[in-house]
Amino acid sequence: MVIDWLIGDPTWMPHPIIAIGKTISFLNKKLNRGKHRKAKGFLLLILVLSLTAAIVFGLQWLCYTISIYLYVLLNLYLIVTALAAKTLAVEVRKVMTALIGGDLKESRVQVGYLVGRDTSALSETEIIRATVETTAENTIDGVLAPIFYMLLGALLPVPWLNPVMLVMLYKAVNTLDSMVGYIQEPYRDFGYASAKFDDLVNLIPARIGSLFMLVAGLFLGYTYNEGCRVFKRDRHNHKSPNSAHPESVVAGLLGIQLGGTNQYFGEVLEKPTIGDAKTPLEILDIRETISIMYGSEVVVMVVSTLVVILLYSF
Which residue range forms the structural domain that includes residue 234?
2-313
Cis bond before residue 10 (omega within 30° of 0): no
Per-residue pLDDT reduced to its tens digit, 23-60: 999 999 999 999 999 999 999 999 999 999 999 999 99
H helix and E strand count, the chain: 14, 4
Q: Is the pLDDT of residue 260 over 80?
A: no
pLDDT, residue 152, reads 93
User: Whole-prediction pTM value?
Assistant: 0.92
As for how many domains the chain has, the answer is: 1
Answer yes or no: is pLDDT of 266 > 80. no
273: burial class by Cβ within 10 Å (0-12, 13-18, 19+)? middle
Provide the pLDDT for residue 8: 86
pLDDT at 74 over 90: yes
Integer Cα distance of 8 and 198 in angstroms? 24
